[in-house]
Structure 1
Amino acid sequence: MSIRSKLAWTFILLLIFGITSISSYSILFIRDYLLEEGRVEMERDTRWLAVTASSLADDDEFEKRLLETARTSGYQLAVYDSTGHLLNTFASGDTLIPMSQSLPAGIMESVNNRNNLPLLPQNPGSEVLTSYVALNQPVAGAKYLQASQFKDEIYEPIKTIRWIIYYGMFISIGLVVVVSIWMARYLTKPITQIKDAAQDIADGDVDREINIKRSDEFGTLATSVNQMASKLRADTEQIKEFAEKQRQFFADITHEIRNPLHTISGALDMLGLDKLSEEKKSKYIATAKKQTERISHLFKDLKTLQRYDSDEYFVERQEFDLADIARHIQDWYADKAKEKGLELNIADHTCKVVGDPGKIEQVLDNLISNALKYTNEGSVDMTYKKEENQVLISVKDTGIGISDEHLNRLFDRFYRTDKARSRDKGGTGLGLAVVKSIIKGHGSDIHVESTIGEGTRFWFYLPKA
């Protein structure tokens, strides 16, 4: 059974029970009220009947006048002598109420002790309401007067009231059924909407939204489900993007390894020729060695990236002097810059920072190496200076520059602005990705600005020692 049916039946049964209980209580209350009012009225009428009977003449017309009195009052009257023996009965209608042939001694005693006040015994199980009274003075041998009436005559008005209550109850039950069904549908509609939406989201429809504009708990739940769907949608897009990058990563790494292996294989085939000159042998050996070094650098970069992704101790911080790294850079690239006719300006003043000296040296090595590759004239500058509690480290060149369309993806793994030319220069496509990973591991970030034909500048910050 659905929640809607359960709610509808619950409302219907509870309200029907409530209406039935109230109606039954109302009928019982009205019966008791009418009976009590009938007793009060009968007590008053009995006193009047006693006075009337006492004032009748003691002659042959006594019974005739008492019969007329019974018909006028609407009660069935009976008279008893002083010993409690029944003398005669006077009926007001066609239906006779059975009368006792003699009054019980207890009744006579109670009546005598009431000083001419009526006695109305409580008989809950009896269908007749009875009243006894002693006459002021005996008339025609009559000492006691009994007035009787069927309780149904007292309850007569309740028959109409009962049907009014029943009609009202049936109408109320009908309204309750309609209102309960409507209320159940109103309460369960948002639950159904949320359930359907959650099922659609579970089936993969992360674009599904619930349009429930309510300020109650259902509205809050709908908003939470929408937020969950939005988060799931964002996560799905991120997973798709990651999967695409991963697919591209494997395609790139396969391509990166295949090319040098193909070159090495070709060089080895040539070296196997019998009549190969020494000059060509040296050339093919150098080519194979160069491609081997390229593969070695590739796996070295991949190892660095893998450590960044999984090793929380990727960066081992300590205090060191940037001047030591500057001198190494100068020694490594001075000759290369001279060969290309470039001016290499490396700052070498003392400046102590906190970080991993080996990895910061790897970062600057990558940045200087790239700057020299893509600069054909002018200069390559590496500077660092203190700014409050940080040190700004910058590498700037006057090379070919990078267009704006490539800047956002410049640090992606295996991304190249010019794939053919980058491979010709021996790059792995991972250098800047490694740079970004190392700087991120230091809690900082790498920044870049570039202008086509004017040059490029990379910079990042390290904490001052």
Structure 2
Amino acid sequence: MKIRSKLAWTYIILLIIGIITISAYSILTIRSFLLDEGVEQFEKDALSLALAAGSFKDNALFDDKIQRQAQLSRYEMAVYDKSGIRFLTFPDYAFEDVAPYLEEDLLSQLEREDGDPLIRTDENPEKLIAYVDLGQSDNAAQYLRISQDKSQYYAAVASIRHIIYAGMFFSIGAVIIVSILFARYMAAPIQRLNEAALDIAKGNLDRKIDLNRNDEFGTLADSLNHMAGTLRADNEKLKRLNEKQSQFFADITHEVRNPLHTISGALEMLQLENLQPEKKKQYMVTAQKQIKRVARLFEDIKTLQRYDFDESFINRVNFDLKEVVDEVMTVYQPLAQEKGLALKAKNLKSYTVNADPDKIEQVMDNLISNAIKYTQEGKVEVGFEQKDELIEVSVKDTGPGIGKEHLERLFDRFYRTDKARSRDKGGTGLGLSVVKGILNAHQSDIKVESEEDSGSRFYFRLPLHENS
């Protein structure tokens, strides 16, 4: 059974039970109220009839007066003398089952009532019965019995009951219609949420649920929309990662194939019998250079892999940043001089930072080597600048600069602004990716400022140690 049917039947059954209960209670309450009102009026009428009967003169008209009084009041009446013997009834057929005399215990109760009506409920449950002691009457009558069927008091209930029943059936019909509509209203968002969830499960992450409700259904719809959005973003991210991974492996294959071809060609040339010593030496140098290039490639890949998966990629210690930078500059000073470049320092003061000195050295090695590699004339300047609690390290060159179209992807793995010239210079295409990975592991980032024909400036920031 669908939830809409379950909701409809539940509402219908509960409301029908409620309507029937209320209707029955209303009828019983009205019956009780009418009976209480009737008993109260019956007592008053019994007392009035007793006073009137006691005032009649004892003559030939006495019976006619009692009979006329009974007709006018529409009560059944019986008159008893002082001995408790019945001597007059009206109408006659109504008192076939009435005792012809009053018992002693009844007479005793009447004496105790001192003229007030005595209501008897044990003689006949279908009637109201009252006995009254007339006291000092002007005739032979001493006791008066008055009775009336209870059904007369319930006559109004019959009409009211029909009205209540009509209202009850009308209410039940309305309840059925309203319950079905309400069940549809309640089930509609559930069905829509179910359809949306099935669509999302099938991969339709563009499905959006718009219920325009402020209740729990609306909250659930917002949650499903948020989940679909998150899944959509994750799928896009996975798609991009898959594309990058595919490109990464393709680039690795390409990067390894070129030096291997060069090594293979050099080895073939070295096998020639009449190869001159100078050529032999040249091919040996070429092969060694390409072998170093492959080794450097896999070392960079290893570094990036550790950054991706190893939480202990960096080991932070406090060290003097100037010492690390000075050491790297010392290594590359001869290469800069060989190219006719000035490798200068700017504001290289001692600053204590909390970082991994080996990884920061690798960052500086990549940045300074790249600057020297791509700068043909001018200078390469390495500088420090303190900015509040951070120290900014920059490497600035007077090289050809980088076009704006390349800046966004400059730190992607294997991305080169000029692939042919980069390979000629022995680059792996991973240097700047390694730099970015190391700095990201330090909760920092590498930034670049560059324009074509205006040189480049690479910089990053590290937090100063408190005692610096």
- Would you call these one fold, judging by a TM-score over 0.5? yes
The correspondence of residues 16-165 of structure 1 with structure 2, limited to 5 A, is 16-91=16-91, 98-123=97-122, 126-136=125-135, 142-165=141-164
Q: What CA deviation, in whole Å up to 9, does each residue of 1:147-175 have, x standing for no partner?
A: 22111111111110111111122222233
**Counterpart residue number, 2:239:** 240
Question: Conserved in 2, the CA contact under 8 Å of 1:120 and 1:131?
Answer: yes
Mapped to 1, the partners of 2:345 and 2:195 lie a distance apart of 66
The correspondence of residues 321-336 of structure 1 with structure 2, limited to 5 A, is 321-336=320-335
Change (3 A) 1:80 1:265: same
Greater Cα offset, 397-406 or 413-422: 413-422
The alpha carbon displacement at 1:448 in A equals 0.3
Mapped to 2, the partners of 1:383 and 1:112 lie a distance apart of 128
**Counterpart residue number, 1:403:** 403
Please tell me whether residue 300 in structure 1 is matched to residue 299 in structure 2.
Answer: yes
Change (3 A) 1:35 1:330: closer
**Counterpart residue number, 1:265:** 264
Mapped to 1, the partners of 2:243 and 2:400 lie a distance apart of 30
**Counterpart residue number, 1:179:** 178
Mapped to 2, the partners of 1:436 and 1:40 lie a distance apart of 101
Greater Cα offset, 235-244 or 443-452: 235-244
**Counterpart residue number, 2:381:** 381
**Counterpart residue number, 1:200:** 199
Matched residue type, 1:69: Q
Change (3 A) 1:357 1:139: closer
Greater Cα offset, 380-389 or 370-379: 380-389
Matched residue type, 1:109: S
Change (3 A) 1:441 1:52: closer
Greater Cα offset, 381-390 or 15-24: 381-390
Q: What CA deviation, in whole Å up to 9, does each residue of 1:176-199 have, x standing for no partner?
A: 333333334444444443343333
Secondary structure at 1:314 match in 2 = coil
Mapped to 2, the partners of 1:160 and 1:420 lie a distance apart of 106
Query: Structure 1: which 5+ runs fail to align?
Result: none
Taking structure 2 as the reference length, the TM-score comes to 0.88
**Counterpart residue number, 1:229:** 228
Greater Cα offset, 31-40 or 278-287: 278-287
**Counterpart residue number, 1:356:** 356
Mapped to 1, the partners of 2:129 and 2:348 lie a distance apart of 128
The alpha carbon displacement at 1:420 in A equals 2.5
Change (3 A) 1:46 1:412: same
Change (3 A) 1:76 1:328: closer
Matched residue type, 1:391: I
Change (3 A) 1:58 1:462: closer
Question: Conserved in 1, the CA contact under 8 Å of 2:248 and 2:414?
Answer: yes
Change (3 A) 1:98 1:366: same
Secondary structure at 2:207 match in 1 = coil
Q: What CA deviation, in whole Å up to 9, does each residue of 1:426-456 have, x standing for no partner?
A: 1111100111122223332211011111211
**Counterpart residue number, 1:365:** 365
Secondary structure at 1:113 match in 2 = helix
Mapped to 1, the partners of 2:38 and 2:394 lie a distance apart of 111
**Counterpart residue number, 2:448:** 448
CA RMSD of aligned residues (A): 2.9
Question: Conserved in 1, the CA contact under 8 Å of 2:390 and 2:461?
Answer: yes
Query: Structure 2: which 5+ runs fail to align?
Result: none
Q: What CA deviation, in whole Å up to 9, does each residue of 1:349-383 have, x standing for no partner?
A: 55233233332222222112212222223222222
Change (3 A) 1:324 1:348: farther
**Counterpart residue number, 2:310:** 311
**Counterpart residue number, 1:413:** 413
Mapped to 1, the partners of 2:7 and 2:124 lie a distance apart of 43
Secondary structure at 1:120 match in 2 = strand
Question: Conserved in 2, the CA contact under 8 Å of 1:319 and 1:352?
Answer: no
Aligned residues between the structures: 464
